[in-house]
Structure 1
Amino acid sequence: MSKAGAKLKAVKKVVDKIQHGHLRTNIAAGLAAAGPPLGPMLGQRGINIAAFCKDFNERTKDIKEGIPLPCRAVVNPDRSYDISINKPPVIFFLKQAAGIQRAAMNPGNEVAGKVTLRHIYEIAAIKKEDPSLEIKSMEELCNMIIGVANSCGIKVVKDLDANEYGEFLAERKLIVEQQKKELQEKKEAKMLRTG
């Protein structure tokens, strides 16, 4: 092995020792558990699974259980970790504001729900607290959130009439049921072909 190759290998070992790895995942508030999918992710990085789950659940005990939280963990060479927990994803807030469970199957061709500009601004104010987004202006954040809304079939409007929107959601529920039925039929047909 050449001198350059040996030096490169030595530098790589030092770099590997400095930072063992990163973990980026969404974990439901208060529901971190050792089982899949979280347990294997932690095990691959050499993190004490029970300690991580206990730490995460303790730090999220004041948040409504089950809310998805983007979690970032940096694993140190001694197997300790630094964890940062961000606010829920933008799509979570959009679906909550629109009062829907799922986004559109064909964004651009169907409207899954509607939110107002006020909703967009309030979501931006919450997301502004995330470390990765705190450098963005409110205008940039609002435009980003509007883009996410458009990509999942949520229409942004100036204002909403509660009665009209209630009728819209009732009609939408029927459409969603029909889509679920069609998906189930496709799955069954596919299973018959492969079986």
Structure 2
Amino acid sequence: MSKAVRRVVKKAVEKINHSGPLRTDIPAQMAVAAPPLGPQLGQRGINIAAFCKDFNEKTKHIKEGTPLPTRVYAKPDKTYELIIHSPPASFLLKQAAGIQRGTMFPGKEIAGKITLKHLYEIAAIKIQDPPNALLTMEQMCNLLIGTARTCGIEIVKELDANEYGKFLEERKVIVEQQKKELQEKKEAKMLRTA
């Protein structure tokens, strides 16, 4: 093999990128060069400042802080392909239910409630993500029902606003009690290990 052919083959080999996509959740409009995002992009040879500016510009129409599953495909010429998915199903379900966190005991307690209309609207958002492209609307709804059950969210046909407001007030007391119990357990564990 001549030197010229070797040089061409070597260039072709150097351009192959064996690393997979960077899979991460980045809050909308909040991409910064600080860890963990900055070092992950730097390892792939991506211009961090340009990426942050690009991501923040593409997500300016979304409420700030909303977690967005993101896939970044680095190319050999130091450019990248950015794919931004819709927020996670659990986030959307909790937002629809008006709760901050799901239940600690799935199947034993209810953290919140949503209507079938909420479920359908969330399914319409989630089915647009590339991984869900081949699912039917019924399959997407069934996946969301499973996620809702895991979060402790009950799906009902109709929801009275006043009743639900009372339910959420009662639930706040339960959540505060659970947080207090968890804190006590953590403190007890810290005392044992110290």
TM-score (norm 1): 0.88
**8 Å Cα contact 1:22/1:74 also seen in 2:** yes
Q: CA deviation at 1:52?
A: 1.1
Instruction: Tell me the equivalent position of 2:113.
Output: 114
* Structure 1 position 71 matched with structure 2 position 70: yes
Instruction: Tell me the equivalent position of 1:134.
Output: 133
Structure-2 separation of matches of 1:150 and 1:16 = 46
Structure-2 separation of matches of 1:45 and 1:18 = 10
Identity of paired residues, percent? 65
Paired residues in the alignment total 184
- For the residue of structure 2 that corresponds to 1:65, the secondary structure is coil
- For the residue of structure 2 that corresponds to 1:177, the secondary structure is helix
Instruction: Tell me the equivalent position of 2:43.
Output: 44
Structure-2 separation of matches of 1:144 and 1:16 = 40
One-letter identity of the residue aligned with 1:74 = Y
* Structure 1 position 85 matched with structure 2 position 76: no
Structure 1 pair 18–35 and aligned structure 2 pair: CA distance change class (3 A):
closer
One-letter identity of the residue aligned with 2:36 = P
**Unpaired stretches in structure 2, ≥5 consecutive residues:** 1-8
Instruction: Tell me the equivalent position of 1:172.
Output: 171
Instruction: Tell me the equivalent position of 2:146.
Output: 147
Instruction: Tell me the equivalent position of 2:104.
Output: 105
**8 Å Cα contact 1:21/1:45 also seen in 2:** no
**8 Å Cα contact 1:99/1:113 also seen in 2:** yes
Structure-1 separation of matches of 2:45 and 2:87 = 26
Q: CA deviation at 1:20?
A: 4.0
Structure-2 separation of matches of 1:25 and 1:53 = 14
Structure-2 separation of matches of 1:15 and 1:99 = 51
Structure-1 separation of matches of 2:106 and 2:15 = 43
**8 Å Cα contact 1:21/1:76 also seen in 2:** no
Structure-1 separation of matches of 2:179 and 2:17 = 49
Q: CA deviation at 1:15?
A: 9.0
* Structure 1 position 21 matched with structure 2 position 20: yes
Q: CA deviation at 1:90?
A: 0.8
Q: CA deviation at 1:14?
A: 4.0
- For the residue of structure 1 that corresponds to 2:106, the secondary structure is coil
Question: After TM superposition, which residue ranges in structure 1, 4 or more long, deviate above 6 angstroms?
Answer: none
One-letter identity of the residue aligned with 2:44 = R
Q: CA deviation at 1:61?
A: 1.1
**8 Å Cα contact 1:90/1:123 also seen in 2:** yes
